[in-house]
Amino acid sequence: MAEGFKATVLKTVNVIVREFESLYLRKYMNNLKLNQIINKYLNSDYIKDNSVNGIQIEGKKNIKNIYTCVTINNFVIKKAILNKVDTLIAHHGILWKNNFLNIIGIQKKRIHKILLNNINIFAWHLPLDIHPKIGNNVIIAKKLNTNIKILPTNKFPVLLCKLNNNKNIFKKIKKQTRNFYFHQSKKKKINKIGICSGCGEKFLEKSILEYNIDTYITGEISENYFYIFEEYDINIFIIKHYISEIYGIKKLGKWIKKKFKLNVSFLNSFNEYEYILNKK
Ligand SMILES: [Zn+2]
């Protein structure tokens, strides 16, 4: 009885502390300052990318409530408006260097809503794939939960790693990557792995020819790449684009929350095409 009472009191105190914290202690952050700090942390200025990294659309000057997400879409924008979120930070933003420059169709609709509601849009793409601490690739490598050694590469976005112990590794990777598509090599054991979050098809052949990998882990590939990995006879795990890029943006959100005491939460989108369960 006494223990139960103690637990209830503790729970109530925790709620009050959290409420107090969110009302009075959570700070505001200047949007351009935050942009500058994250650009520096992710080394964005030195990474060539198709994405316009950093601030894409300027909203409120003072940031307090942030949603992080993998991809900016109508669902994410609507949720941000509904929940009075002033900033969206995405892995896939809405401005790409190879996009049409005309603001028409859904781009017009999205930008109209964003400007009308004074929401900041930030995006970090490749810098968030390859970052040595919070990048998608390195987190996937660590999630393999095995004795792994990261190998150096020169300006190549694929993370290379070597296994020190490859006992039952095929099963382990299958489990860690939630049994998405895999192809097992007839001859090659898993030893040297190339990891490329998102769409890694462009770097598959270079990883095989120049870095001699026997295993490749990526988010998605096009149909013709199937024959490439089959003919080179390598192991491959295709873990879906969205899933492979959820890690970095979540970690960035946690980093911002801890460092600047802002309200940050990750917003999951349901991507029917990739059959992602909402809670994953
Ligand atoms: Zn991507």
The pLDDT value given to residue 177: 67
Cα-only R_g, the chain: 21
Write out the DSSP string of 193-249.
EEEEEEE-GGGHHHHHHHH--SEEEEEE--TTHHHHHHHTT-EEEE--HHHHTHHHH
CA of 129 from ligand 1 middle (Å) equals 8
CA of 75 from ligand 1 middle (Å) equals 18
CA of 187 from ligand 1 middle (Å) equals 31
CA of 60 from ligand 1 middle (Å) equals 27
Residue 122, strand partner residues: 55, 89
Per-residue tens of pLDDT for the chain, all 280 residues: 567 788 788 888 877 766 666 556 567 999 999 999 999 999 999 999 999 999 999 999 999 999 999 999 999 999 999 999 999 999 999 999 998 889 999 999 999 999 999 999 999 999 999 999 999 999 999 888 667 888 988 788 999 999 877 777 777 777 776 667 888 899 998 899 999 999 999 999 999 999 999 999 999 999 999 899 899 999 999 988 998 999 999 999 999 999 999 999 999 987 777 765 544 4
Q: Is 148 helix (H, G, I), strand (E, B) or coil?
A: strand
Residue spans per domain, the chain: 26-129+245-268, 132-243
Q: Judge whether 235 and 246 are in contact, CB under 8 Å.
A: no
Phi, then psi, of 163 in degrees rounded to 5: -90, 140
CA of 18 from ligand 1 middle (Å) equals 35
CA of 243 from ligand 1 middle (Å) equals 10
Between CA 184 and CA 179 the distance in angstroms is 13
The pLDDT value given to residue 70: 97
Q: Which amino acid is at 279?
A: K
Establish whether domains 26-129+245-268 and 132-243 are of one fold: yes
CA of 27 from ligand 1 middle (Å) equals 31
Q: Judge whether 266 and 67 are in contact, CB under 8 Å.
A: yes
Task: Please provide the CATH number assigned to the domain covering 26-129+245-268.
Answer: 3.40.1390.30
Pairing mode, strands 120-123 and 235-238 = unpaired
Q: Judge whether 205 and 228 are in contact, CB under 8 Å.
A: yes
CA 142, 144, 147, 153 torsion: positive or negative?
negative
Between CA 30 and CA 260 the distance in angstroms is 11
The tokens describing 10, both together, are: 């503790």
Q: Is 51 helix (H, G, I), strand (E, B) or coil?
A: strand
The pLDDT value given to residue 279: 45
Selection from 130, 126, 131, 135 nearest residue 247 by Cα: 135
CA of 116 from ligand 1 middle (Å) equals 27
Angle at 280 between CA 244 and CA 191, to 5 degrees: 40
CA of 261 from ligand 1 middle (Å) equals 28
CA of 203 from ligand 1 middle (Å) equals 14
Pairing mode, strands 65-71 and 263-266 = parallel
Q: Judge whether 265 and 253 are in contact, CB under 8 Å.
A: yes
CA of 200 from ligand 1 middle (Å) equals 9
CA of 92 from ligand 1 middle (Å) equals 6
CA of 124 from ligand 1 middle (Å) equals 10
Helix axes 105-116, 74-82, angle to 10 degrees: 10
Task: Please provide the CATH number assigned to the domain covering 132-243.
Answer: 3.40.1390.30
Between CA 274 and CA 106 the distance in angstroms is 21
